Amino acid sequence: MMASKPATRSSGRCPAIAEDRLSSLQDGLLHIILSFLTARQAVQTCVLSRRWRNLWRSMPCLDIDQREFDAAASGARGDRVAWECGRFVEFVDNLLMLHGASSLDRFRCHVTHGYEFKVVERWIRHGIKCSPAVMEVSWSSSAFFSGLPHSAGSTGCRLKRLHLAGIALDTGFARQLRSGCPVLEDLQLERCLLDSPEITSHTLKSLVVTDCTSYFGTVLTITAPALASLHLGISTTGSNWRGW
């Protein structure tokens, strides 16, 4: 019979902890990593280590998404939904108060339901104040969101890409496109209500208009001499567009 091998005695030493090379990267590189996360996920990285504690406060991208707090989607009761809505408002208010970046590369805000227009408008105004190069605002409620600030366009505007969904856009929006967004190249409108069915921009290169409507006109006029890509989607129901 072969002799059994003697049992090995544990050395009692703890396994070596892998070196944290990620945290040794410069802030700019870590900000790029955070740019792939939603605002809530980015804030949660503060528990990773002391190095990450305040990185989210200066990240150049803010991605605010109510669906991360949305109890209604899971079939929760009304009181639970109201509680989650309150948590979302508190989170966004604190986020914008503590976030210290003076300018943003991207500002994204996706809201589903449950808020007065003035609350969401306050968040959007903060995003516009940071002069983002990319701005996306999506309102998924059954009613149009009527409160996009006119300050979205100005002579110092850095906006190159603007995506809007579920927004009521008054005549001031058409004026902003003409003269207030001097570097805008990409415009996407989805389920929007246009007071002025006119889109004029000398810098626009890509335009997408999907399921939009207007109470004050049945023809959408597009003047965009630099346009290279155009996508128009017309719903067969609930739309009063006669032609483009």
pLDDT digits (tens, 9 = 90+) for 102-121: 899 999 999 987 667 788 88
pTM of the model: 0.81
Average pLDDT, the chain: 83
pLDDT digits (tens, 9 = 90+) for 193-232: 888 888 999 999 999 999 888 876 667 889 999 999 999 9
- Choose between 145 and 39: higher pLDDT: 39
Cα→Cα distances 242→192, 219, 232, Å: 16, 6, 13
Q: Half-sphere exposure of 6 toward its Cβ, with a 13 Å CA cutoff? A: 3
On the question of pLDDT at 1 being above 50, the answer is no
CB atoms within 10 A of CB 177: 25
What pLDDT shows up at residue 242?
45
What pLDDT shows up at residue 126?
92
pLDDT digits (tens, 9 = 90+) for 153-193: 554 689 999 999 998 888 888 888 888 899 999 999 999 98
**E runs forming strands in 55-100:** 61-65
Give the confidence band of 54 by pLDDT, cuts at 50, 70, 90: very high
On the question of pLDDT at 235 being above 80, the answer is no
Please check whether residue 169 is in contact with residue 191, taking contact to mean a CB–CB distance below 8 angstroms.
Answer: no
What pLDDT shows up at residue 119?
87
On the question of pLDDT at 76 being above 90, the answer is no
Indicate the domain borders of the chain. 101-244
On the question of pLDDT at 27 being above 70, the answer is yes
